[in-house]
């Protein structure tokens, strides 16, 4: 039996187990997806133990995405982002990957959004913002990063090709001329607020909100009212999970089965 799992603390809220278990059922795999919640000081022991016990692969979530970098061999994108959310124990040494970036790119691709040459605005410079900014830049977008703390935005922009960092005050100026907008903050999670001024939104935008509770955030509702393409945070969660499964197994993920299991719980 193959064992996959999630490494984080806490992990009880995660939707990854039912999403991945749906894959195994759809493909008739003898596999299980389990959660591990080590104390922060036990992270290295947990990763070494998983390798020794023959765990096939692990997803990694808060607060371990950055700390696990030193315990695996990160690929180029994960090293540049500075975070790992997927460990593959089928390699020696175990390799670290960031499928959050793949989740962003696949979410736009399934809606037919061409990122190459686009003007993109990313709100937030935390973990999700970093993955998003690198993903968009790698796809050929020019990225403006807006963050409450300007220094954090400019520091990220220094790492990302063809990117600039700003405070949130530039959203009124940058969003009206942008092609792509991503909210990579938690603003709008379980509250009726938006990180972007309503008047800045327009019908030529493609808007991805990483928040998935609720699926229809205020930002997405206001963008849809103006005719924009809107993408809910469930898509990013779905596609990063599919990319992780494909990394571990070399098999195409049954996205439809994963989608049903995920959205039944959102």
Q: Angle CA(96)–CA(102)–CA(106) in degrees, nearest 5? A: 160
Spot the catalytic one: 65, 218, 239, 247.
65
C-alpha span between 197 and 222 (Å, rounded): 10
C-alpha span between 108 and 199 (Å, rounded): 23
What letter would DSSP give residue 266?
Answer: -
C-alpha span between 163 and 196 (Å, rounded): 19
Helix axes 99-109, 127-138, angle to 10 degrees: 60
CB atoms within 10 A of CB 178: 25
Entry field: residues in the chain = 266
**Helix, strand, coil percent values for the chain (each to nearest 5):** 45, 20, 40
Q: Does residue 65 carry a catalytic annotation?
A: yes
- Provide the H-helix boundaries in the chain: 16-27, 43-52, 76-81, 99-109, 127-138, 150-159, 171-174, 218-225, 233-249, 255-263
C-alpha span between 259 and 242 (Å, rounded): 10
CB atoms within 10 A of CB 243: 22
**Cα separation of the two ends of the chain:** 29
Q: Which sequence positions are flagged as catalytic?
A: 65
């Amino acid at each position: 039996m193959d064992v996959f799992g999630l490494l984080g603390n806490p992990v009880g809220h995660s939707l990854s187990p039912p999403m991945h278990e749906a894959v195994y059922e759809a493909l008739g795999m003898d596999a299980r997806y389990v959660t591990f919640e080590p104390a922060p000081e036990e992270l290295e022991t947990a990763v070494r133990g998983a390798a020794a016990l023959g765990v096939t692969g692990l997803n990694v979530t808060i607060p371990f995405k950055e700390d696990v970098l030193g315990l695996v061999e990160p690929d180029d994108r994960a090293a540049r982002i500075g975070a790992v959310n997927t460990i593959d124990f089928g390699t020696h040494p175990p390799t670290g990957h960031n499928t959050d970036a793949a989740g962003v790119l696949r979410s736009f691709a399934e809606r037919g959004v061409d990122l190459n040459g686009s003007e993109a605005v990313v709100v937030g410079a935390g973990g999700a913002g970093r993955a998003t900014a690198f993903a968009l830049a790698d796809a050929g977008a020019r990225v403006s990063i807006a963050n409450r703390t300007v220094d954090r935005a400019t520091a990220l922009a220094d790492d990302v090709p063809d990117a600039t960092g700003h405070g949130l005050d530039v959203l009124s100026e940058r969003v009206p001329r942008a092609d792509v907008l991503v909210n990579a903050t938690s603003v709008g999670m379980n509250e009726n607020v938006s990180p972007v001024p309503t008047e800045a939104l327009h019908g030529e935008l493609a808007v991805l909100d990483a928040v998935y509770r609720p699926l229809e955030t205020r930002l997405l509702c206001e963008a849809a009212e103006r005719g924009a393409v809107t993408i809910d945070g469930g898509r990013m969660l779905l596609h990063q999970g599919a990319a992780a499964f494909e990394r571990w197994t070399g098999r195409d993920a049954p996205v439809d089965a994963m989608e049903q299991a995920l959205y039944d719980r959102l």
